[in-house]
Amino acid sequence: MTVITTSPAQTEQLGERLARILEGGDIVTLQGDLGAGKTRFSQGVAFGLGVERSYPITSPTYTILNEYEGRLPLYHFDFYRFGAESDLRELGFEEQFYGRGVCLVEWPQRLAAGFSEEYLEIRIDLLGDDARSFTLIPHGSAFEARVVSFGQNIKKCFDHDSVSCY
Ligand code: ADP
Ligand code: MG
């Protein structure tokens, strides 16, 4: 499923909508170049999970992990600064990855494969100055049905002229 957003605000709204279908233990990966909108999307997810809007949701590029408390704990990772094939076990984040919260992972490419068989992969592509495409790829059975219903929900609530689902 692919959705196109045409403003940062709309990307945030998309994240907020996604938060509604997230459950404890979910892992969502965000792949896209610098400036694609991974952090902006994450802000929407945080607000959608009930983190207060006034709370600053910042990029964890230097801290690696930012933690927020919403209806579920949110663990926002950015592995940009790690070398390829970093081992999650050595990094010591197993508690978050296999806990009761939601993990949002920027730069999952830096991790050696196999942190989980069940995760939602989101690929973000820059289409133009303000246009971004979000492609949702479910891995494992847990996300398949949820991504379908998310797509239907997005079609209903987003302006058809500026957002397309296909
Ligand atoms: P990343 O975390 O992927 O490096 P950020 O979310 O930090 O990206 O930044 C995205 C940048 O792109 C911001 O400056 C934002 O204003 C801009 N932008 C323009 N159009 C969009 C859009 N449709 N969605 C998200 N960000 C957008
Ligand atoms: Mg970022």
* pLDDT per position as a tens digit, 90-149: 888 999 999 999 999 999 999 886 678 899 999 999 999 999 999 999 999 989 999 988
- Is 31's C-beta closer than 6 angstroms to any atom of ligand 1? no
Task: Kindly state the average pLDDT of the residues 79-83.
Answer: 89
pLDDT of residue 4: 92
| Tokens standing for residue 4 | 């196109």
Which residue owns the Cα nearest ligand 1 atom 17?
8
Amino acid letter, residue 3: V
Burial class (CB within 10 angstroms; exposed 0-12, middle 13-18, buried 19+) of 60? buried
Which one, of 63, 73, 67, 76, lies nearest residue 30 by Cα?
76
Q: Which atom number of ligand 1 is nearest to the Cα of residue 78?
A: 2
Instruction: For residue 48, give every residue at least 6 positions away whose Cβ sits within 8 Å of its Cβ, in sequence order, or none.
Output: 15, 16, 17, 18, 19, 20, 22
CA of 53 relative to ligand 2 center, distance in Å:
19
Pocket probe mutation, ligand 1, options 28, 40, 133, max atoms within 8 Å of Cβ = 40
